[in-house]
Structure formats: C-alpha cells, structure tokens
Amino acid sequence: MVTPLPRIAGGGGRKPRVPPLPPARTLLTAFSAAAALAVLCLLTSSPAASLSGAWRSGARSGDKYLYWGGRADCPGKHCGSCAGLGHQESSLRCALEEALFLGRIFVMPSRMCLSSVHNTKGVLQSSATSKQRWEESSCSMESLYDIDQISKTVPVILDNSKTWHDIVSKSTKLEVGSVAHVQGISRVELKQNPLYSAVIINRTASPLAWFMECKDRKNRSSVMLSYTFLPSMPAKKLRDAANKMKELLGDYDAIHVRRGDLLKNRKDRFGVERSLHPHLDRDTRPEYIRKRIAKWIPPGRTLYIASNERTPGFFSPLSDRYRLAYSSNFSSILEPIIENNYQLFMVERLMMQGAKTFVKTMREFESDLTLCDDPKKNTKVWQRPVYTDD
C-alpha cells in the first residue's frame, strides 16, 4: 500500500450558404452601439480592465484593428449557446493568428461565456435580468489569460476599453474607408487587397464559429500560433497557484481522465445501447488505468489526477500502487482564487504540462500517451460500448 498524499488543506465538404452582409451603415450603427455599451460597463468596473503593454496609453496613428465580435463565436453559431473552453480557445487562437498575419491589433472580447455543461457554479434564478445572466454566466477574459503576455506576440486590446470606444467613434464619423465589413474573405486576400486596408476590419457578419472561418483548417502548415499558445498564457494568479502546487508535489506524473461529458450513450431502435466512444468508459476505470499506465509510470510515484468524474473515491483503487493527488488536496491555494471551472481547468492544465510523464484520455498527436485508443474527434458513428478485454 502506497502512503497517501497528505492533504494540503480542506475538502475534497461544403461551405454552408451564408446570408448577405448587412448594409455598412446599419452594421456600423450596431457596432458603435455595442462599443458604447462596453464603455458604460468599463466605467462601473475595475479600472484595471483595459489595454495591455504599449497600448495602455491609447490608440496610435497608423494602428489598424481586427474585430470579430463581442464574445467568442458570437456573432456566429454559438450566440444562443455557449461552447466549452476548448472550442472558444480554438476560435480565439484563430482570430489572434489572423491578427498576427495581418499585422493588426486584435480586439478581444472582454468576457468569455461559461458553458453550463462544464461549469456548475453560479446558477441563477429564472427572474434574473439578461445582464445579470450574462455577468453570472461569463467571466472576465483577464481572469483567465495574461493579456500583457499575449500582447508580446499579438497586440491585443479589450472591447470594453476607452481606446476601442474612441477608435469606433472616430471611425463612425469618418465613415468612408475607415471600416471594412467582410465575410467569407481569406486572410491572404485581406492582406493583399487594398480594398481591405481600412482602420478596422469587421468580421461580425460570419454565421460560423470563428475557428471555422478564420483559417484553412485542413492546412496545418499554415498555423502561425501554436495550439499550445493560449494554454501557456494563463492569468498570473493561475500560474502562481500551479507553481505552488508543483512545488509541494515535487517530482510527479499526471493523467487526465475525461469521463462525465463524453460518457453519453443512447439506445438504437432495437433498444441496444450505443456510444460514440465505445471503449472510453472501460478504459477510464481504475482497473484498466492501472494496467494501461504501468508501462509508463512505475509503482510508488506521485500521480496527479485531473478528471471530471464526480463519483467520490472513484480512483481510490489506484492508491495501492501510487500516491494520489487531486486539486482538492490544494484547497487553501485554490479556493481564494478559483471562481469557475474554466479557471480550475487552466490550473490543472499547467499541472499536467509540468508532469514528468503525462497520459491523456484520448490521442490528439501521434506521440501522445493515452488511456483510450478511441479517436478524440467525433466520428458520429454510434457503436456498442465495450466493457471486456478486446
């Protein structure tokens, strides 16, 4: 029996048809109104929420901007819903990459919506106003990311800043040539065609998720920003928390066990259970995890487990071989700073990155060590779940 880790504190093919672009004056009016509302929000919020780096002092002559919308994937297909952190990061990374390619300052949404699927905190009463619902179902971008660090690679301003309001107000007065409203235009054309040399490129007409629109997704060689760029840019308080946890753990390994939201079965017309990930439930149970990781992680090691499994003690059977650690072991570090599960996952992601050996749930890249061989990408093929050895 391995000595348990002491608790640090506390408890446990075809592009879809898109609608025509609205008249420039109509779109610009809505565009300006949204910015004005953002400024009102700024005046009632913390003065720290503004610009980063050299852009804190305001707009400079010659600066040009790229605007995709007031929240990730909205405008777009997720305006009426909220994608998870991973999907929103994909969209933000693509938009940042486009700004880098175009040599423009990216106007980042000041808040990110919190998907109820991945976040259980802050459930509102039905009588709450739309503003209350948005504030409760979203968090400030600066609570997740270090905007100053991001701006060292891609210049960023937030859409609730006075600078952005001033830019939009000035562009509205100038009107002709100051704003280019674009839809379905490649970033290469945006860069090469003088028609798109306006101060502001406005991408809000796109009906798609941003990551579907802003780059050639099939051409991976076109990637200018690493897929690890945003995960490596967490807010300082989240970085500091992860560093404290790493120091307390010392030398450790980690596994990410994604279960809850992926273990969705349905019955076919014959009443037979079907799953999109037929081996996932089996392969993420302790007895199978033990067999799978034995060749990579020797007995007696400290094993940090990041998981969305909610059953208490679910991974306890692994304690006869490893010293188990969870985020709940570090409540004195995390509770003062964690306000939602997105922040918690960003800390845990840093913990996984800092492990000597890290085992993912499913494979993303060829070199990944994984618990399950099922493809991570949704194949849309419903199969019978497998619970025995193949």
Residue range 194-222, pLDDT digits in tens: 999 999 999 887 777 888 766 555 565 56
The number of folded domains in the chain is 2
CA angle 139, 143, 145 (to 5 degrees): 115
- What is the full DSSP assignment across 134-193? HHHTEEEGGGTB-HHHHHTTS-EEETTSHHHHHHHHHHHHH-TTTEEE-SS--HHHHHH-
Residues 92 and 205 in one domain: yes
Residue closest to 64 by CA, chosen among 200, 163, 184: 200
- What is the full DSSP assignment across 367-378? T--BS--S-SS-
CB atoms within 10 A of CB 161: 25
In the predicted model, what is the mean pLDDT of residues 262-288? 84
The CA distance from 56 to 354, in Å, is: 33
Measured distance between the N- and C-terminal CA atoms of the chain, rounded to whole angstroms: 30
Q: Residue 175: inside a domain, yes or no?
A: yes
Above pLDDT 70, what percent of the chain? 74
Residues 80 and 184 in one domain: yes
Residues forming a β-bridge with 359: 255
Residues 181 and 321 in one domain: no
- Mean pLDDT (the chain, rounded): 80
The CA distance from 313 to 316, in Å, is: 5
State the residue range of the domain holding 300: 236-359
Q: Residue 26: inside a domain, yes or no?
A: no
- What is the full DSSP assignment across 339-355? -SHHHHHHHHHHHHHTS
Q: Residue 367: inside a domain, yes or no?
A: no
Q: Which helix (H) or strand (E) holds 303?
A: strand 302-307
**Burial of 106 by CB count in 10 Å (0-12 exposed, 13-18 middle, 19+ buried)?**
buried
pLDDT confidence of residue 261: 74
Decide if 292 contacts 371 (C-beta within 8 A).
Answer: yes
Q: Residue 327: inside a domain, yes or no?
A: yes
Residue finishing a domain among 201, 232, 263: 232
pLDDT confidence of residue 273: 81
In the predicted model, what is the mean pLDDT of residues 182-186? 86
Residues 260 and 348 in one domain: yes
Per-residue pLDDT of 373-388, as tens digits, reads 888 776 778 878 788 8
Query: Is the pLDDT at 45 greater than 50, yes or no?
Result: no
Residues 203 and 337 in one domain: no
pLDDT confidence of residue 217: 54
Q: Which residue type occupies 319?
A: S
Residue of 120 and 142 predicted with greater confidence: 142
Residues 283 and 202 in one domain: no
Residues 307 and 262 in one domain: yes
Residue finishing a domain among 232, 256, 279: 232
Q: Which residue type occupies 361?
A: T
Q: Residue 332: inside a domain, yes or no?
A: yes
pLDDT confidence of residue 120: 56
Residue finishing a domain among 186, 217, 232: 232
In the predicted model, what is the mean pLDDT of residues 55-66? 71
Q: Residue 250: inside a domain, yes or no?
A: yes
pLDDT confidence of residue 9: 38
Q: Residue 58: inside a domain, yes or no?
A: no
Query: Is the pLDDT at 264 greater than 80, yes or no?
Result: no
pLDDT confidence of residue 162: 92
Residues 217 and 282 in one domain: no
In the predicted model, what is the mean pLDDT of residues 33-53? 36
Residues 179 and 310 in one domain: no
What CATH number corresponds to the domain at position 147? Answer: 3.40.50
Residues 201 and 319 in one domain: no
Residues 91 and 221 in one domain: yes
Q: Residue 371: inside a domain, yes or no?
A: no
Residues 334 and 247 in one domain: yes
